[in-house]
Homo-oligomer: A and B are copies of this chain.
Amino acid sequence: MLQASADIDTSETLTERQKAVLDAALRLLVEEGDHLTMTAVARRASCSKETLYKWFGDRDGLLTATVQWQASKVRVAPVDRKGLDLASLTASLERFASDWLKVISSDTSIALNRVAVGHAGPVKRKDGKDDLGAIVLENGRFALARRLKPVLEAGRQAGLLQFSDAEAAFRTFFGLVARDVQIRLLLGDRLELTDAAIGGDAARATQQFLALHGAKTGPQGL
């Protein structure tokens, strides 16, 4: 159990073949959940189990590599910070909301979050082994915060937003956008999220956020 963990710098030390294998694992994860077996991955990827072990160390290593691989594919472009007015700020927020809803309702995200949650239990983490929960959190909720906060700050600088704590403001936005969607999906609730519904939710969440933290007409939340 060694080489595959470039730990901090996520990926790109991966062969094309290795990426293909991880894609196979990812597909299998979506189809079968944590039920995923080494033999199944090997068969699906048309590689030998020995190779899997040589590349990823053990089952956990494969899972970790898979999650990181998917994470590395998600990197979205940062928002352009041009002339900021209410319209563009609103558009940006709606964009974030809509993107986030699409992510958390995707099969892949659901599958990944499921395994990560399953592995986050009070199990004895061997050494300081990077656990899946932390990775998912880092590339999900925290990555979103890192990308959104600058926008919020810019909005405040431009006198469009009002808040004392960017983190708190972000969490409010997060709550308004996600609401009960993620937990319901993770618990297996069928929840049809059409593009139209997502667009509507994004707009609603954005309006609510502006109502709470907008500079004009704003009642001071918190």
Contact = CB atoms under 8 A, between A and B. Distances in A.
Interface of A: 30-35, 111, 113-114, 116-118, 120-123, 131, 133-134, 136-137, 141, 171-172, 174-180, 182-184, 186-189, 204, 207-208, 211-212, 217-219, 221-222
A216 to B, nearest CB: 10
B120 A118 contact: no
A219 B219 CA distance: 8
Main secondary structure of the interface of A (DSSP, over half): helix
Stoichiometry (number of copies): 2
Contacts of A189: 133-134, 137
B121 A187 contact: no
Contact of A208 (B123, B187, B207, B221): B221
Nearest to A221: B208
Nearest to A125: B188
Contact of A114 (B111, B120, B141): B120
Contact of A187 (B35, B133, B174, B211): B133
